[in-house]
Structure 1
């Protein structure tokens, strides 16, 4: 058991180291030389670096210290320690590794700077580490005001890009928004991977055949809700009992599921929704921090 635990820790550390190296490459190879920004505390650090010409490694570490302290109270001390270790590691990476500037083309900088930043932050998150304290701030603030975490993060980033637009010009701010968007989408892909889960609800008169196909052919567990079909405008008083089938699949399986349901009942009503977190049951996602 101890050996497995140690192996798990080594994998987490490998994710964190790879994440730090990718973030360092994004910052020194793309963003910093071209005066571009990202969102969150990284964006604030880059903005302070440009306005006051302070060394970026020191700014990133100092800017995130208050949020590491918040993490100790809002999440747990182990996560706070991991976050502080990752942030110091990023600072050391920026200080000691001399990454070359890759390009000065603004579009390439905004897209690929965001991609490599997203890969770095996403890999660190897969290892249970954090390289940006803004989400901790949003979690702390969200418990005291009536805004969601996403709304708070969005508000912080709007302020960052407005300041950048005033101080460094609107084109730089707009390109930086593209960087942030690219980074956020890349983070989602790296963290969720190809196993991003999708909830699927199926209403059909052939529910028995669909249930069997989902379990026996697709290998997925299902949940059945008891409902009624009908209530059409021309026959509102006519309805019949039915089984509403719900299952969870990865996005790689979604096309196969749709084809399978259409084959059984072309008139089946199918709708999907993205699931941000899923655990338990027959799912086997590993929990982090």
Structure 2
């Protein structure tokens, strides 16, 4: 299990480093967090990004020693070390494109895949995540708000010191990377959760189990306005089964109340395994 996590973090760090060295740096696109600061310092003073990333994270690891779990911190230290090493090893990789927009788009895709591997392995690249936790405990702002504020400041500095387009492309890069991270962690096969309030719970539940081969949970509820007892069905289905379950419910009870929502991931019997989580 530990070896699998370490390998996942290392592979993710290499992928992120390839994106930065082949697309982001050659096209002078900013990045968020500590990596973004290191890139700006590289543009200003030609400091090696690999060493700068590692050095900038040292005080943050000291701050984070008591703030976050030690296991998470140790994996974060490994992640930063792996990224620094990968940035150094891939430093001479050729630029894939001189089109800044293409670089921002495909850099976001590649970096998102790499960071998705890291997060799936329950690691991180340290950096401003730790700083955000620290300030969230000493201010009224949330971790997400602080991270957004830090990245906004970094992009603003890049726009002032270099050119506004650098920050604009950085926003595209970060947006795409965030979406791809979610895709890597959650997968493309989003499921649907279905809640049905009906007067025919047993018949509908039986049809779902027999025709869709899905488990069903039944529970009691009461209407807040009417005070009447209600029978509620809950189940998880795939997208392809959505029309089938609507047909089952409509045929059994045309007055049924149906609510459907997205479920990014389901772990348990009939779905994905707990292995790797």
> What TM-score bracket applies, with the shorter chain setting the length?
0.7 to 0.9
In the TM superposition, what are the counterparts of 1:151-162 in structure 2 within 5 Å? 151-162=145-156
Q: 1:188 aligns with which of 179, 182, 188?
A: 182
| 2:234 equivalent to 1:246 | yes
Residue 214 (structure 1) shift: 4.5
Q: 2:103 aligns with which of 102, 109, 132?
A: 109
Q: Which residue of 2 aligns with 1:259?
A: 243
| Count of aligned pairs between the two proteins | 270
| 2:103 equivalent to 1:119 | no
| 2:38 equivalent to 1:45 | yes
* Contact in 2 for aligned 1:74/1:140 (Cα 8 Å): yes
Greater alpha carbon shift after TM alignment, 268-277 vs 68-77: 268-277
* Contact in 1 for aligned 2:220/2:229 (Cα 8 Å): no
TM norm structure 2: 0.83
Q: CA separation in 1, counterparts of 2:64 and 2:266?
A: 23
Q: CA separation in 1, counterparts of 2:62 and 2:56?
A: 12
Structure 2 unaligned spans of 5+? none
* Contact in 2 for aligned 1:42/1:132 (Cα 8 Å): no
* Contact in 2 for aligned 1:43/1:160 (Cα 8 Å): yes
The structure-2 alpha-carbon separation of the partners of 1:12 and 1:160, relative to structure 1 and needing over 3 Å to count, comes to same
Q: CA separation in 2, counterparts of 1:275 and 1:269?
A: 19
Q: CA separation in 1, counterparts of 2:38 and 2:171?
A: 16
* Contact in 1 for aligned 2:216/2:233 (Cα 8 Å): no
Q: CA separation in 1, counterparts of 2:34 and 2:259?
A: 38
Q: Provide Cα deviations, 1:64-100, integer angstroms capped at 9, x if missing partner.
A: 2233334432332222122111211111111123322
Q: Which residue of 2 aligns with 1:15?
A: 8
Q: 2:55 aligns with which of 62, 65, 68?
A: 62
Question: How well do the aligned residues superpose, as a CA RMSD in angstroms?
Answer: 2.9
* Contact in 1 for aligned 2:191/2:239 (Cα 8 Å): no
